[in-house]
């Protein structure tokens, strides 16, 4: 059984601006705002292990969305996408290992949240 859609049937977009909108409904906009607020307060309420798992999920989600945009919408083959992802992963690992810090410490918002939560 199909779930109900938030966009009514027969709602055809007739302008380019309506077709390129980021949030087509107020429900999707409010869900995005609520998600951003939850992400901002996550370091104060989630333990270290769960936070590192959520950070890894976010990193892979960003890489998957970028690859989906490049391959899915434009149909181009992406070799450079993997190279940029590799460079970012290597840089994060290098900073974490050489500065004797934990996985999430290279990110500036992690240091900021540690300062205000203590």
Q: Greater confidence, 29 or 103?
A: 29
Residue 112 placed within a domain: yes
Residue 6 domain-assigned? no
DSSP 12-65: ---SHHHHT-S-SSHHHHHHHHHHHHHHHHHHHHS-HHHHHHHHHHHHHHHHHH
**Tally of domains in the chain:** 1
* Whether residue 11 has pLDDT greater than 80: no
- Does the structure show a pLDDT above 70 at 64? yes
Q: Is 4 domain-assigned?
A: no
Per the CB < 8 A criterion, the answer to whether 117 and 43 are in contact is yes
Q: What range defines the domain where residue 61 resides?
A: 25-117
**63 token code pair:** 């890489």
In a domain, 94, yes or no: yes
pTM above 0.85, yes or no: no
Count CB neighbours of 43 within 10 A: 19
Tokens, residue 40:
């901002």
For the record, the structure tokens of 13 come out as 């977009």
Higher pLDDT, 107 or 38: 38
Question: Would residue 53 count as lying in a domain?
Answer: yes
Q: Is residue 88 part of a domain?
A: yes
Mean pLDDT of the chain: 76
Asked whether residue 18 is domain-assigned, the answer is no
Percent of the chain with pLDDT over 70: 73
Q: Does residue 33 register a pLDDT over 90?
A: yes
The confidence score (pLDDT) of residue 34 equals: 95
Domain membership of residue 17 (yes or no) is no
The fraction of the chain above a pLDDT of 90, given in percent, is 8
């Amino acid at each position: 059984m199909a779930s109900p859609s938030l966009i009514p049937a027969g709602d055809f977009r007739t302008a380019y601006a309506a077709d390129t909108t980021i949030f087509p409904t107020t429900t999707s906009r409010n869900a995005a705002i609520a998600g951003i607020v939850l992400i901002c307060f996550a370091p104060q309420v989630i333990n270290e292990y769960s936070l590192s798992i959520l950070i890894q999920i976010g990193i892979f989600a960003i890489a998957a969305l970028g690859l989906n945009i490049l391959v899915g919408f434009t149909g181009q083959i992406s070799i450079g996408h993997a190279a940029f992802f590799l460079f970012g992963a290597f840089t994060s690992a290098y900073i974490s290992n050489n500065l004797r810090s934990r996985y999430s410490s290279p990110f500036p918002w992690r240091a900021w949240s540690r300062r205000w939560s203590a």
